[in-house]
Structure 1
Amino acid sequence: MAQLLRLDASPRRSRSHTRTLAGEFVARWSASRPDDTVIRRDLGHEPPPHVTEEWIAAAFTTPGERTPRMREALAYSDQVVDELFAADVLVLAVPMYNFGVPAMLKAYIDQIVRVGRTFAFDPEAAAPYTPLVSGKRAFVIVGTGDAGYEMGGPLASMNHVEPYLRTALGFLGIDDVEFVYTGNDEFGGERLQRSLERARNRVAELTTERKAVDVAG
């Protein structure tokens, strides 16, 4: 039995293509694996707090020396880090905003990249940073206004969503990451519908592939 952690970063509701596709992904997954559980965190509607000076001081203080106020400053971070460790699979629904991730998702990443919790730091070591999160797979559904931002596409050089998330997740130890793209939201019409259909087909492939892997294993 596995646990999925679904993260929605769009402030849109029914008009969000990434929310819709993430919902379809989870529905297909759950249909083939009814014993799995799903945890959902809606970053778009319940934005994480930003990192503050108090948060930084608390994070870099050893747990035994933290004051009650420091523990309070880290309460949200502790919660989302615990969710991350409990999950086997991450499903991220991410609209591209001005070539990068929404501020809500960036704030979430800042809350889960924690020294001593999700990565270790030894300034004397040859490799000072050690990932502490392992054995997880991530699926990222990206929605864009234009099309061609995927790696190898004509607008790939302007895509700072995929490189950033691969770097941030990889830094923690999550290297198995698949991206699904849907574009043409600003154009609408047939172009948008064709893009959504390609994304749905990719979602179907990935959920079928995962099922096959489970059966083979």
Structure 2
Amino acid sequence: MPTLLHLDSSPLGEASVSRHLTSEFVKNWKKTNPNGKVITRDLTTSGLISINAAWIGAAFTPKESRTPEQNEVLALSSTLLAELKEADEYVFGVPMHNFGIPSVLKLWIDQIARAGETFAYVDGAPKGQLTGKKAHFLLATGGVYGAGTAMASYNFVEPYLRTVFGFLGVVDTSFQTAGGAAALRQGADREAFLLPHLEEIRAKFAVN
């Protein structure tokens, strides 16, 4: 059964541009995969916290040697890992916050980037363990940061996500950005702004 992991990281709820994009993606994915399964994870309500010394100690303790307390420390991380491994495909809604990814998405990455789980060292070199997966990143940015623009060098979202997921073995990635979303706060028509981005998502599924 094809499985899609759908993750959102915007705190804006219905006002979020990236959530509208992922919703459209999921709707079209379901049409293409009528027998598929969708796992939905809202990172803003998942109780994510920063990793600490206890977490690090538990993560680097062999499974068979962990105490019940250490297993409890890793419980959320293990749940997130199970979702990640079960899915064949991922779609992320990612707004740009201060030129980077939202803090909740970084917290999630810290929970799933675990040695022996999503990456390992083979002959001294890192090797990603999430092979054969596909990731789609649907971004929303207040300004315009596309290649060739004056602000392109300020965009740390796509380079970071491409790097960290590549490290974990996910090299089949796509990025779509709804740039200039700040115009919505200045009275721009929301439907008109979203339409070309929604049509771009629909077109991808029409081709496939």
TM-score norm. by structure 2 comes to 0.93
**Paired residue for 1:139, among 117, 136, 141?**
136
Counterpart-to-counterpart distance in 2, 1:134 and 1:208: 26
Q: 1:29 to 1:172 in 2, by over 3 A?
A: same
RMSD (CA atoms): 1.6
- Per-residue deviation at 1:167? 0.7
Q: 1:169 to 1:133 in 2, by over 3 A?
A: same
User: Secondary structure at the residue paired with 2:139?
Assistant: strand
- Per-residue deviation at 1:195? 4.6
- Aligned partner of 2:205 in structure 1 is 207
Counterpart-to-counterpart distance in 2, 1:25 and 1:105: 19
Q: 1:153 to 1:3 in 2, by over 3 A?
A: farther
Q: Point out the more displaced range, 27-36 or 103-112.
A: 27-36
Q: 1:194 to 1:138 in 2, by over 3 A?
A: same
Counterpart-to-counterpart distance in 2, 1:16 and 1:72: 33
- Aligned partner of 1:159 in structure 2 is 155
- Per-residue deviation at 1:156? 1.7
User: Which string of whole-angstrom CA distances, capped at 9 and with x for unpartnered residues, describes residues 128-149 of structure 1?
Assistant: 21111111111101011112x2
Q: 1:47 to 1:162 in 2, by over 3 A?
A: farther
- Per-residue deviation at 1:51? 0.7
User: Secondary structure at the residue paired with 1:90?
Assistant: strand
Amino acid at match of 2:7: L
Q: Point out the more displaced range, 45-54 or 154-163.
A: 45-54
Instruction: Please say if residues 184 and 195 of structure 1, whose CA atoms lie closer than 8 Å, have aligned partners that are also in contact.
Output: no
Instruction: Please say if residues 184 and 192 of structure 1, whose CA atoms lie closer than 8 Å, have aligned partners that are also in contact.
Output: no
Amino acid at match of 1:74: L
Amino acid at match of 1:107: L
**Paired residue for 1:196, among 194, 197, 205?**
194
Instruction: Please say if residues 94 and 101 of structure 1, whose CA atoms lie closer than 8 Å, have aligned partners that are also in contact.
Output: yes
- Per-residue deviation at 1:198? 2.7
| Residues 1-217 of structure 1 mapped to structure 2, 5 A cutoff | 1-122=1-122, 125=123, 127-147=124-144, 149-188=145-184, 189-190=187-188, 195-209=193-207, 212=208
Instruction: Please say if residues 183 and 196 of structure 1, whose CA atoms lie closer than 8 Å, have aligned partners that are also in contact.
Output: no
Q: Point out the more displaced range, 45-54 or 30-39.
A: 45-54
User: Which string of whole-angstrom CA distances, capped at 9 and with x for unpartnered residues, describes residues 175-209 of structure 1?
Assistant: 11101111222222448665523321221122223
In percent, how many aligned pairs have the same letter? 40
TM-score norm. by structure 1 comes to 0.89
Structure 1 runs of 4+ with >3 Å offset: 151-154, 189-195
Q: 1:7 to 1:113 in 2, by over 3 A?
A: same
User: Secondary structure at the residue paired with 1:44?
Assistant: helix
User: Which string of whole-angstrom CA distances, capped at 9 and with x for unpartnered residues, describes residues 83-135 of structure 1?
Assistant: 1010011000001000000000000000110001111125xx2x421111111
User: Secondary structure at the residue paired with 2:173?
Assistant: strand
Amino acid at match of 1:205: A
